[in-house]
Chains A and B, each alone.
Chain A
Amino acid sequence: MDDLLGGYTTHTLNDEQLVTRAREGDTEAMEELFQRYRQPLFRIVYRSVRNQDEAEDIVQDVFLKAFERLHLFKERSQFSTWLIRIAMNLCTDRARQSQRRQALLQREADHKLAWMTHPHPPDPEEVVQQNVFHEVFYKALNQLPEPQRQLILMRDIEQMEYEQIAEILKTTVGGVKLRVMRARRALKIQLEPLLRAIGEIE
C-alpha cells in the first residue's frame, strides 16, 4: 500500500493527488481511493437498492467505471461526488431494468408491514415501531419516480448538502431545493395513508 518510490504513502495524499496518480496507471493510488470510498458509497447504494448482493455488484461497477473513465473526470468536482453520480446512474439503470424486482420488493415490504402491524407482534414494541417506519417509508419512497427517490435519499437520508447534490445532478442549488421540496411533497402524499394506517397520524 505504501508508495515508497514516491517518498509518500498514499494515505497522506489527497483525492486530487491520488486521482492524478491513478490516471498514470498507479494501482496503489486507485486502491487508496477505493478504500476511502467503498463503505460510504456502499451505504448510499444499499439504501437505494436495499439488497446487499445487488449493492455490492453496483459498488464494484462504480469503481470499475470510475477507473476506466478516469480521463473523463473533470477536476472541477470532487472525486467522491463523481463516484456518487456514477452510482446514482447505475442505480437508475438497475431500477429501469428490474421493474419486476421492484414489484417483488414492494410485495415483501407489504408482507413485512402486515406482519408488523399484527395485533400481537413477538418483538418489543419499540423495535417493531422502528421497523414499521422503515417499511412504511420505503413503501412510499418506491412509489416515486427514480429522480425524486434519489433526491430524498441524498438529502433526507444521507443528509448531503444542497451544493453537493447540485454538483452530482449538474444543476443549481436553487433548482435542487425546489426539486427536493416537490419530492417531499410527493412522498408525503404517498406516506399519508400509510401513516394513518399505523396510527401515526389521525
Chain B
Amino acid sequence: MKNPCEQFVEWLETESGELPPSLRAHLDRCVHCQHEYALHSAYQKAVQAVRSEPVPATQVQWSQIAQRLKAPQARPRWAWRGVWAPALAFGAMAGLGILFWLTPRNHPELARLEQTNPKPFSVGTTSTQSTDTPLSSDGSVLPMPPPTYSDSVVPFSGSVEEPAEPSQRATTSTRELKSEPSPHRREMAMASPEGATSFARNGAPDLRNINPTFQPLEMEPIVPQGGENADYLSVNYNEASQTEATPSDAIICSF
C-alpha cells in the first residue's frame, strides 16, 4: 500500500483526472506534496507557454524533394553497401593471403623439411643476388657440394666481421648485409643453395656458429610494474607478428 505522498505524486504524473478528496485533504497539510504540486503547476505553465509559441511556416517545396529524388546523388549511401561490402571482404582476404604467403614459417617441421629438401639454386631470384655474385663466363653456376648445417642453424649470407667496438657489431653486419659487398659474403653465397637468401627462415641466425667471438646480449627479465594486479599478455619474441606491434611490445593490463 502506497503512502499518501506517493499516491499524490502518482496522481500528478499519470494525469488521472480530478484529485480525489482524500488526497486533497492530504495536500492541505503536507508540505512535501504542496511543493510537488507547485512544481507540477509551474511545469504545466511552461508546457503551455511552449505549446503556444508560434512555429514558422515551412519553406520546403515539393520541387526540392522531386529534384533530389530524380538526381543521381540522391541515391542513398546505403545503396553502395552492396558494392563495397564484397569488395572490402575480397580485399581483406587477398591481404591475409599475401601476408600468409610472405610470413616466414616457424613451424619446426617446416624448417626441417626445408633443410632436408633444399631449393634448387637459381640465379637472380632473390633480392640480395646482386651483381657481385660470381658466375662463370657463360652465366652458369659452378657445381658445389650440398651443405651441412648444425642443429636449427639455417644459411646466412651476411658477413660478420669483428667490429672495432662491441656496440657496433649488430649494425655493422646489418649494413653489410644490405649493401657492402665483401669476400666473406661471396663465399657464403657460393657455399649454400640458400646462401643467396639473406633472411633466415628459422628465426635469427646463431652468430656464434659463424663468428665464435660473438656474444649475444642478454635479455632483461620483465619486472611487473602494476604490483600483484598486473597481468601480461603473452608476447613471443623473434616471431613475426600479424599486427603492427614490434617484438619488444609488452602489453600490461592493470585493473
Contacts and interface: CB of A to CB of B under 8 A. Distances in A.
A195 B57 CA distance: 31
B60 interface: yes
Interface residues of B, number: 30
Interface in B95-145: none
Contacts of B45: 133, 200
Contacts, number: 94
B151 interface: no
B52 to A, nearest CB: 8
A202 B38 contact: yes
Contacts of B65: 30, 34, 60, 63-64, 67
B53 interface: yes
Contact of B43 (A30, A55, A134, A187): A187
A65 B68 CA distance: 11
Contacts of B51: 157, 159
Nearest to A65: B76
B39 A134 contact: no
Nearest to A44: B55
Interface in B201-243: none
A135 to B, nearest CB: 10
B55 A47 contact: yes
Contact of A42 (B38, B52, B58, B66): B58
A27 B68 CA distance: 13
A59 interface: yes
Interface in A125-145: 130, 133-134, 136-138
Contacts of A191: 39, 42-43, 46
A85 interface: no
Task: Classify the secondary structure of A's interface with B.
Answer: helix
Contacts of A43: 55
A99 interface: no
B247 to A, nearest CB: 41
B64 interface: yes
Nearest to B48: A133
B25 interface: no
A43 B152 CA distance: 78
A55 B13 contact: no
Interface stretch (A5-13, A107-115, A177-185): A177-185
A89 interface: no
Interface in A143-202: 156-157, 159, 177, 181, 184-185, 187-188, 191-192, 195, 200-202
B47 interface: yes
A197 to B, nearest CB: 12
Nearest to B70: A27
B50 A157 contact: yes
Interface string B16-56: 00000000000000000001001110110111011111011
Contact of A46 (B49, B55, B64, B66): B55
A60 B76 CA distance: 14
23 contacts: A30-B65, A30-B66, A38-B60, A39-B58, A42-B57, A43-B55, A46-B56, A59-B60, A60-B68, A63-B60, A64-B69, A65-B76, A67-B69, A68-B76, A130-B49, A133-B49, A134-B46, A134-B50, A137-B49, A184-B43, A187-B43, A195-B46, A201-B38
Given A38-B60, A59-B58, A60-B68, 4 more contacts: A52-B59, A63-B60, A188-B43, A191-B42
Interface of B: 13-14, 35, 38-40, 42-43, 45-47, 49-53, 55-60, 62, 64-66, 68-69, 74, 76
